[in-house]
Amino acid sequence: MHTIARMKRVTSKDVARALGVSQSTVSRAFSADARIPEETRERILKSAQALGYTPNELARGLLKSKSNIVGVVMADMLNPFYPNVLDIMSRRLHAIGKRMLLFSVPNDTDVDEVLPFLLQYNVEGVIITSATLSSKMADVFRNHNTRVVLFNRAVYDRSVSSVCCENHDASGNVARLLIEAGHRRFAIIGGKPDTSTHIERSGGFQRELRRAGLSLQAEEFGGNTYEGGFRTAMLLLEGKNPPDAIFCISDVMAIGALEAARRVLGLRVPDDVSIVGFDDIPSAAWPSYGLTTVRQPVEMMVSQAFSLLSDDVANASAAPVAVRIPGELVVRGSARLDPAGKKTRTVR
């Protein structure tokens, strides 16, 4: 047994004692900008390494009233769009020396319940995905001088910053694609009625319809789940006067709709009905689906979210910003491309 059982944590004091220097000196060795000769620093770091010392972040955070923790609240983790988001966020945070405190909460709620817990850790900032907070809670965070950024959701009272895809434009492009393909009977499957993503995507889509002198035939909601998309598509396609083009606010619902149309109703996609999604989740690209969709530029969105958090030009009480990043239309086979139906691959 060559490992020594060590029940006590190794502290900067231990390192100091081992080297015959003061605790302050050890501490300074770990802070990049401290006045300390390079040689001493190396000696200390080496000894620290040998003793297995790492600064206690709890103490550090307590003292500086700011931990290096960023809180992330995810309200829709089971949506396949988010694992990638989370993965990117986690790695990028780690790369800049920050940690992630994660909360997964029920789908599309407001997250006021969990936010106070974040304050208990003196978090450096908070990112909230697919959910909003009350403006009252936004005030609380402002008073605590803690930044909050909404990711993939926006509030219109300008109480917090947000980063979203250019939902309006992207959805307009979808509409144009479908109009040019000759579609006339449009339906939308939304997530939840009062979310910014729905409002914007539906709004952008409909605006483009109006410009072409057309209008929406139906708008139903599927709660951003596969099952919801499936069920809602059944409803629409089995109703009187079924749509010949369905724009789904998210890919999971689009895939559900696709399955309903093909597997249950025996419709051909896109010959009988075109289906378009939003997000570009991995399975959208699987051959069985070949979903035409809008790709959200996740990497860029995360970058923007982080810079909104760390932007030290303005302090936390500065006016919130709404960042919009263009989405990219990804054309696959689930939507017709031209009036005649030529040049169209049918995906079964």
240 binds its own copies (CB under 8 A): no
Looking at the DSSP bridge assignments, the partners of residue 279 are 295
Does 12 participate in binding DNA (rule CB under 7 A)? Answer: yes
The verdict on 265 binding its own copies (CB under 8 A) reads no
Q: What is the distance of C-alpha 288 from the center of its chain? A: 26
Q: Whose CA is closest to 304, among 134, 165, 195, 117?
A: 165
Partner interacting with residue 241 (select from DNA, its own copies, none; CB below 5-8 Å by kind):
none
Give me the sign of the Cα torsion angle 205, 209, 210, 212.
positive
Does residue 67 bind DNA (CB under 7 A)? no
For its own copies, give the closer residue by CB, 36 or 88: 88
Segment holding 227, helix H or strand E: helix 226-238
- Asked if residue 127 lies in contact with residue 100, where contact means CB atoms within 8 angstroms, the answer is no
Site map 306..345 versus its own copies, x via CB under 8 A? -----------x----------------------------
113's tokens: 């319940």
Interacting residue with DNA among 2, 6, 35, 348 (CB under 7 A): 35
* Residue 6 found at the interface with DNA (CB under 7 A): no
Candidate residues 87, 238, 271, 299; the one interacting with its own copies per rule CB under 8 A: 87
Q: Sort 199 into a burial class: Cβ within 10 Å, 0-12 / 13-18 / 19+.
A: middle
Of residues 3-42, those binding its own copies (CB under 8 A): 3-7, 9
Look at phi and psi of residue 249 and say left if phi exceeds 0, alpha if psi is from -120 to 50, else beta. Answer: alpha
The one of DNA, its own copies, none whose footprint includes residue 102, by CB under 5 to 8 A per kind, is its own copies
In three-state secondary structure terms, 303 is: helix
Question: Taking a C-beta distance cutoff of 8 angstroms, is the pair 336, 270 a contact?
Answer: yes
Q: Which residue has the tokens 């025996």?
A: 266
Piece in contact with DNA (CB under 7 A), picked from 63-71, 107-115, 155-163, 283-291:
63-71
Question: Looking at beta carbons only, is 40 or 283 nearer to its own copies?
Answer: 283
Q: How far apart are CA 187 and CA 152, in angstroms?
A: 23
The residues, ordered by sequence, that sit 6+ positions from 137 with a Cβ below 8 Å of its Cβ are 112, 115
Q: CA-CA distance, 289 to 283, in Å (whole number)? A: 8
Nearest-approach distance from CB 17 to DNA, in angstroms = 10
Residue 52 DSSP code: T
- Using CB under 7 A as the binding rule, whether residue 68 contacts DNA is answered as no
Given candidates 20, 38, 95, 120, which one binds its own copies under the rule CB under 8 A?
120
**What is the CB-side half-sphere exposure of residue 6 using CA atoms within 13 A?**
11
CB of 144 to DNA, least distance (A): 11
Does the protein bind DNA through residue 24 (CB under 7 A)?
yes
Q: Minimum Å distance from CB 128 to DNA?
A: 24
Q: H or E segment at 330?
A: strand 328-330
Question: To which residue do tokens 């947000």 refer?
Answer: 162
Work out what residue 22 binds among DNA, its own copies, none; the CB cut-off runs from 5 to 8 Å by kind.
DNA
Residue with tokens 């499936």: 230
Which of 21, 140, 214, 329 contacts its own copies by CB under 8 A? 140
Contacting positions for DNA (CB under 7 A): 8-9, 11-13, 16, 20-25, 27-28, 30-31, 35-37, 40, 53-56, 59-60, 62-65
Contacting positions for its own copies (CB under 8 A): 3-7, 9, 52, 54-59, 61-62, 65, 67, 69, 72, 77-78, 80, 82-84, 86-87, 90-91, 94, 99-105, 114, 116-117, 119-122, 139-140, 143-145, 226, 255, 259, 262-264, 282-283, 286-289, 317, 348
